[in-house]
Amino acid sequence: MKIVIATGLYPPEIGGPATYAAMLDKELPEHGTEVYVVPFGWVRKYPKIIRHIAYFWKLWKECSSVDVIYALDPISVGLPALLVSRLRKKPLLIRLGGDYAWEQGRIRFGITDTLDEYLDNQNNRSPRVSFFAKLQTYVVSKAEQIIVPSHYLKGVVIKWGIKDSHIQVIYSALYPIEVTTSREVLRKELNYSHPTIVSAGRLVPWKGFEILINVVDELKEHYPHISLIIAGDGEEYAKLETQVSDLKLSQHVRFIGSVTKDTLGAVIKAADVFVLNTAYEGLSHQLIEVMNIGTPIVTTTAGGNSELITDGVDGFLVEFNNKAKLAEAIMRVINHPESRERIVQSARGRSKQFSKESAVQEIVMVLKNIHENN
């Protein structure tokens, strides 16, 4: 069997789709599947319309003799993949990591609702968001099968009007970040001599960095030398930097931008607590990696997080943007180091359940079924 993987990201780019595509590129040939990867990064240098035409052409050429086209998003690569699949008469498989229309609405079109609020208030959408939502649903509805990384996200796609039988949950796999240096040595090397919080992700509204910075402003009354390290880049960087300046928190909050996986792993391992104040996660690769590294987690009940973490067992779950609960959970971790090992060991054991081997086997079965039925 031969497949083409259409992906928006691919190493050396970072992000969930890049890691996932690289895993398939490496693992599927061991199961008798020939893989061709077509990253959107090949054409990103071109102007918007030109880049999409160029991407369609690259997909067209690669798909002449393949058995399945596997797209890792519904619009940027999903739409050209659908066009090629129709013209080439090849079956299309799509993996969804989120709701593209809602994300675009949050970033570009003034939506302030969480994903759940947005899905429950469809009449309040702007014409542009409605267009993306309809286009996304149309592309997905034409796929032979849809893969999602959590039961939460399956529920989201069902709300788009897609049949339950067309959606399969295959959990994200653990891609361990190997950090061999001990936590004690890392803390000395990174000068983490006081309580240190780490957070990471795209600097976008639904990641809740603004409220997390406010929480640190309050926590400094209890811990005068507390630090927050934020890894990642995004469109909210300037706004967040201004917030830190206005609150006079430059000694407490530091932005380190996009860093390598190894660097991020070391920063996380050395920290006292990892906090992800997020309004939405399909199923977070980041949290699975942190669970395996062994740093206590405080995150939200949003999205698929509760499918990863049991509150008080593998970490702590609070409501999105609840400053009081966030502060309370962070203080609970900092003030009770004796319970750290129990939480860390439970989380690490839980992370092992998201094995790469299991995920690959399930994907292979989906591909075989599609191939046999076409």
CA distance readout (Å), 334 to 148, 270, 295, 310, 316:
35, 13, 12, 19, 13
- What integer pLDDT is reported at residue 14 of this predicted model? 66
Task: Give yes or no for a contact between 21 and 37, defined as CB atoms under 8 angstroms apart.
Answer: yes
pTM metric for this prediction: 0.84
Element (DSSP H or E) covering residue 138: helix 127-141
From the DSSP assignment, how many helices (H) and strands (E) are in the chain? 16, 12
Burial of 211 (0-12, 13-18, 19+ CB in 10 A): middle
Domains within the chain, CATH numbers bracketed: 2-173+355-372 (3.40.50.2000), 183-351 (3.40.50.2000)
The per-residue pLDDT of the chain, averaged, comes to: 91
Extract the tokens encoding 96. 């969804």
- Residue 61 CB partners (closer than 8 Å, separation 6+): none
pLDDT per position as a tens digit, 193-233: 899 999 998 898 889 999 999 999 999 999 999 999 999 88
Report the C-alpha gap between 348 and 368 in whole angstroms: 32
Is the four-CA dihedral 23, 305, 197, 314 of positive or negative sign?
negative
- What integer pLDDT is reported at residue 178 of this predicted model? 86
Q: Give me the residues of the chain with pLDDT under 50, please.
A: none
- What integer pLDDT is reported at residue 291 of this predicted model? 94
- What integer pLDDT is reported at residue 259 of this predicted model? 87
Task: Give yes or no for a contact between 58 and 84, defined as CB atoms under 8 angstroms apart.
Answer: no
